[in-house]
């Protein structure tokens, strides 16, 4: 395996079998999608800047909320973590590459096709998907535009991509660990990803089933979601959330993994309670399968169902609490420094915990009747998705970028970006809690005058937050092109793990001969 990357640009990036190149492709693709989904968010916040209809029509507004959700969840966050997994897992477990390198490239290249199909619907007759990212029937079936069929098949191939990517990760972790790298010696990031991959393989087929039922109901006269034929629209919600709840952990577990790598490095202490971290992650994954209907407290479930899903949901706070306390205890009495990745990680711990607590509020079935489908829910899941997943993804890029490209990013610019992002994030989403509690419903293009002030504040925060992402993009490009060259394998003095034994920048092929772990 002496050969390096192909000299031909197209051949290198189109036909790759290299885990680093494919990881890079995933990361750039996800950032492009992040900007696209962010642009949709800007449209939403611009329209909501003031009450009344200013810029766009309501029909287009709901397409924006739908596409923002779909693009961010499936196009930005998920591929970002798959990109990190591609880059880091072989380096962390001492493997030469991913287990199935060609399938790896197939998993990636499906995504541009899937999202081209999905976004092209915006320009078609009838417009894009307008039924919310959760695409509840009958909005997504009986009342959907014809273009919903493109959405359905787009989701199908995107799911195939996720399943193949996950199988690859499972096979890599189970089969490619270097001698001596036992399961309980694996870095937390690897652990969280293998559990995530398991969740993906389990629930992506259920999503495929859900969209297949939609397809049949729309085009072939079946009645899954039609009570007139003996079906039930609520069946859609059950099937969707049986996929959807594990899905939100698919998004957040790798983020836990990233933070569990970064905090020990900048605390200069090993991770506190490693094995409890592993078991907590596994418990969260298990619980994610049996709590789905807490998204549906207001559909008219029997009281026994409401109670069960309420209590089961509250249980999730236990393993999540274990994790939060472990991160805090890792920092306790550590020799802390606050480089950009650490700042993002600490912000993650604080803001994710905040989002977790609003989640506890929402888990109370009786109280949820008040919060359901309001901006309180929007605020809750943006605290865990943005301050959780996106912050940790940003932290991961700052943390590993010097290892990837052998150049150091600009620390000052990184810190400036962090503080803008941190403050702007809170300006954007904190007021949405108040709006939600006061009764403002989500997904509407207009609102009553009593909501005007906080909406304006939220919009200003959103534009600022969007600007911070451009700074991030600039800093990354600047680092890759003109950053200060470094060659120390140990980029961060406190970092532990196999990836830091490799030269900087990381060579094209990882461990041609497996290292031996004592």
Partner 1 sequence: MSSENSYYVPEQSKLPLAAATGMGVMAYGAASWVIEGGTSTIFLIGTLIMASVMFMWWSLVIKENTQGIVSDQLKHSYVLGMYWFIFSELMFFVCFFGSLFYVRVLVGPWLDGEAAIGWFDDTATDAAIANATHLWPGYDAAWPPIVTPDQVVTLAANPDATEFQFKGPKEAMSFPGWSFSELMAWLPLWNTVVLLTSSGTVHIAHHALKEGDRKKFVRWLGLTVLLGIFFLFLQAEEYIHAYQELGLTLESGIYGTTFFLLTGFHGAHVTLGTIMLLIAFLRGAKGHFNETDHFGFEAAAWYWHFVDVIWVGLFLIVYVLG
- The structure tokens listed for 240 are 């969707």
Q: Can you tell me which residue has the tokens 């493109």?
A: 150
**123 or 220: whose CB is closer to partner 1?**
220
- Residue 91 · residue 502 · CB < 8 Å: yes
The active-site residue, picked from 177, 245, 403, 443, is 245
What the block records as the tokens of 371 is 């919060």
- Please report which helix (H) or strand (E) contains residue 485, including its range: strand 484-485
Is 382 part of the annotated catalytic residue set?
no
Q: Is 396 in the site for partner 1 (CB under 8 A)?
A: no
User: Is 245 annotated in the active site?
Assistant: yes
Rounded to the nearest whole angstrom, what is the least distance from the CB of residue 498 to partner 1 in the complex? 16
The span from the CA of 374 to the CA of 265, in Å, is 39
**Of 48 and 214, which has the nearer Cβ to partner 1?**
214
Q: Contact with partner 1 (CB under 8 A): which of 304, 333, 366, 487? A: 304
Asked if residues 446 and 52 have their Cβ atoms less than 8 Å apart, the reply is yes
In angstroms, give the least distance from the CB of 241 to partner 1: 12
Contact 68, 33 (CB under 8 A): no
Cβ nearer to partner 1, comparing 168 with 374: 168
Peptide bond preceding 315 in cis form (omega within 30 of 0): no
- Active-site pick, 87, 150, 249, 399: 249
Return d(Cα 284, Cα 315) in angstroms, integer: 9
Sites for partner 1 among residues 308-367 (CB under 8 A): none
CB of 321 to partner 1, least distance (A): 29
3-state DSSP assignment of residue 340:
helix
- In degrees and rounded to multiples of 5, residue 314 shows phi and psi of -65, -30
Q: Considering 320, 330, 392, 504, which one is annotated as catalytic?
A: 320
Residue 105 interacting with partner 1 (CB under 8 A):
yes
Q: Which of 48, 114, 284, 351 binds partner 1 (CB under 8 A)?
A: 114
State in angstroms the smallest separation of the CB of 292 from partner 1: 11
Note if 453 is an active site residue.
no
Instruction: Pull the structure tokens for residue 53.
Output: 């209809």
**Least gap, CB of 228 to partner 1 (angstroms):** 4
- Whether 295 is catalytic is yes
- Contact between 383 and 359 under an 8 Å Cβ cutoff? The reply is no
- The two three-digit tokens of residue 150, written as one number: 């493109």
Residues 10-29 that bind partner 1 (CB under 8 A): 11-12, 14-18
- Per CB under 8 A, the list member of 2, 184, 366, 449 interacting with partner 1 is 2
Distance CA 136, CA 116 (A): 23
The interface with partner 1 within residues 436-465 (CB under 8 A) comprises none
Q: Which string of x and - marks every residue 209-228 that binds partner 1 (by CB under 8 A)?
A: xx-xx-xx-xxxxxxx-xxx
Whether residue 372 has a cis bond before it, omega within 30° of 0: no
Active site residue 283: no
Q: Residues 251-268, buried b or exposed e (16+ Cβ, 10 A)?
A: bbbbbbbbbbbbbbbbbe
Active-site option among 97, 226, 339, 368? 97
- Total residues in contact with partner 1, by rule CB under 8 A: 88
Which of positions 172-211 make contact with partner 1 (CB under 8 A)?
A: 172, 174-176, 201-206, 208-210
Letters for 240-269 (x = contact with partner 1 by CB under 8 A, - = none) are: --x---------------------------
Which parts of 480-509 interact with partner 1 (CB under 8 A)? 509
Using the CB atoms, write b or e for 324-351: b if 16+ within 10 Å.
bebbeebbeebeeeebbbbbbbbbbbeb
Residue 433 among the catalytic residues: no
Catalytic residues: 68, 97, 133, 161-162, 245, 247, 249, 260, 294-295, 320, 323, 442
């Amino acid at each position: 395996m002496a050969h390096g990357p192909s000299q031909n640009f197209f051949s290198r990036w189109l036909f790759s079998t290299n885990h680093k190149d494919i990881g890079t492709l995933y990361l750039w693709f996800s950032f492009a999608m992040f900007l696209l989904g962010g642009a949709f968010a800007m449209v939403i916040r611009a329209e909501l800047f003031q009450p009344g209809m200013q810029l766009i029509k309501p029909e287009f507004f709901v397409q924006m909320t739908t596409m923002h959700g779909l693009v961010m969840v499936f196009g930005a966050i998920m591929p970002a973590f798959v990109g990190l997994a591609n880059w880091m897992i072989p380096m962390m477990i001492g493997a030469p590459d991913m287990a199935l390198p060609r399938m790896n490239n197939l998993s990636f290249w499906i995504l541009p096709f899937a999202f081209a199909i999905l976004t092209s619907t915006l320009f078609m007759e009838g417009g894009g998907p307008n039924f919310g990212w959760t695409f509840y029937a009958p909005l997504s079936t009986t009342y959907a535009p014809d273009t919903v069929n493109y959405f359905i098949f787009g989701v199908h191939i995107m799911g195939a991509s996720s399943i193949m990517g996950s199988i690859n990760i499972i096979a890599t972790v189970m089969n490619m660990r270097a001698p001596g790298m036992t399961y309980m010696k694996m870095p937390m990031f690897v652990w969280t990803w293998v559990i995530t991959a398991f969740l993906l393989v389990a629930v992506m087929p259920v999503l495929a089933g859900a969209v297949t039922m939609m397809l049949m109901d729309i085009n072939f006269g079946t009645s899954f979601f039609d009570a007139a034929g003996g079906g039930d629209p609520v069946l859609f919600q059950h099937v969707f959330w049986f996929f959807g709840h594990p899905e939100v952990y698919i998004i957040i577990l790798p983020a836990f993994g990233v933070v569990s790598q970064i905090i020990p490095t900048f605390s200069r202490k090993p991770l506190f309670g490693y094995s409890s971290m592993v078991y907590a992650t596994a418990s969260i994954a298990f619980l994610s399968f049996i709590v789905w209907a807490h998204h549906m407290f207001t559909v008219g479930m029997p009281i026994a169902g409401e109670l069960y899903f309420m209590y089961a949901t509250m249980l999730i706070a236990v393993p999540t609490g274990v994790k939060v306390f472990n991160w805090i205890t890792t920092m306790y009495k550590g020799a802390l420094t606050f480089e950009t990745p650490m700042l993002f990680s600490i912000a993650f711990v604080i803001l994710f915990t905040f989002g977790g607590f609003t989640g506890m509020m929402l888990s109370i079935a009786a109280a949820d009747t008040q919060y359901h489908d309001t901006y309180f829910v929007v605020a809750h899941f943006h605290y865990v998705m943005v301050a959780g997943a996106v912050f940790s993804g940003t932290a991961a890029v700052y943390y590993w970028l010097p290892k990837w490209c052998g150049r150091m990013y600009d620390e000052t610019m990184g810190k400036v970006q962090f503080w803008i992002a941190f403050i702007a994030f809170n300006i954007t989403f904190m007021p949405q809690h108040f709006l939600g509690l006061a009764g403002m419903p989500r997904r509407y293009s207009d609102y009553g005058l009593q909501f005007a002030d906080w909406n304006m504040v939220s919009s200003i925060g959103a534009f600022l937050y969007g600007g911070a992402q451009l700074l991030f993009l600039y800093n990354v490009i600047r680092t890759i092109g003109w950053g200060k060259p470094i060659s120390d394998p140990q980029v961060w003095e406190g970092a532990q793990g196999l990836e830091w034994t490799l030269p900087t920048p990381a060579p094209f092929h990882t461990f041609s001969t497996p290292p031996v772990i004592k």
